[in-house]
Amino acid sequence: MPVISEPSAIASALRDAPPRPPCGAVLMADPAGFRVESVINPWMADATGMLNVIDSMRAREQWNALRQAYLSIDIDVQVIDSAPGMPDFCFCANQAVTFLDAGNRPAAILSRMRSPSRQPEVPLFERWYRHKGYQVHQLPHGVAPFEGTGDAIWHHGKRAIWGGAGPRTADTAWEHVAAITGAPVFPLRLVDPRYYHLDTCLCVLTQDTALCVPAAFDEASRQRLHKGFANLVAVDDEDAANFACNAHCPDDENVLIQKGSSDLVEALVRAGFGVIELDTSEFMKSGGSVFCLKQELV
């Protein structure tokens, strides 16, 4: 499958893409080792440059509440144990992207993390996926970085991927991701360092609806998004800073989202979504929220 950059080709590519089943389970990573030990994104330090300090007990409570929220909407939750010395391990969207291969077998493409501090996470996730029977794939040598579902967001109901290119994933990764998954990839150029992963500025809700932060993308990418979604909801700077686009809608019906974006939540409710507002403020100190804290399983 190709990387499709021409906006006019996106609608037909989505129409022709094979169906993709809805999410029925997620992986979460135990947050026991969660800390902020260095600045690898703009959210990890305060205005004076001091590292954010994590309240570990409160982070655990927030993580447990997110896990319970998934269970409450009949999404199974599997858990990978924490690892010592890996403070960002809990953000388990980043170490791989999962998919069903041509033989309908569960598979994963392993990430090539940009930050040296996060690179040791990947072999532990590889071990977990292999133990669960996943076919594990690597990108060719020298293709880096690539940060999994942080930048690879599946279009709902279709085997097609929106692929972020910029701070954490190289353009060259997407042709290989398309070839391995058999899914077309629609590239999106990230141009604002605050939105270092695609999942900080794009949230796919249904086949037709998505939230996005327009200023996070270049003009060509905005055109692609408008061709991909009949209802593209612009998220303002205030809600974007509240990680509203790092929400997750696993089933086209329920949106798990950081609390505090009241107008956006009201709009989602009017549109017929069930909304579960959560407090992920401790994890936001490290640049992540709901979407970052899980990996969809297949």
All domains of the chain in start order, with CATH: 7-297 (3.75.10.10)
Distance (Å, whole) CA 129 – CA 143: 21
* Predicted confidence (pLDDT) per residue in 2-43, tens digit: 999 999 999 999 999 999 999 999 999 999 999 999 988 999
pLDDT of residue 40: 85
Written as six digits, the tokens of 297 are: 């399983």
- Tell me, yes or no, if 248 is annotated catalytic: no
User: Which residue stretches of the chain have pLDDT < 50?
Assistant: none
Q: Sheet with 25-29: list strands edge to edge.
A: 76-80, 25-29, 295-297
- Residue 149 makes CB contacts below 8 A (sequence gap 6+) with 93, 94, 96, 97, 98, 199, 295, 296
For residues 209 and 267, what is the distance between their CA atoms, to the nearest angstrom?
12
Angle, alpha carbons 6-216-146 (nearest 5°): 75
Residue 219: the pLDDT is: 98
Judge whether 245 counts as a catalytic residue: no
Query: Out of 197, 203, 248, 249, which one is annotated catalytic?
Result: 197
pLDDT of residue 47: 84
Question: 118 and 88 in contact (C-beta within 8 Å)?
Answer: yes
Residue with tokens 């999410």: 23
| Burial of 193 per CB tally in 10 Å (0-12, 13-18, 19+) | exposed
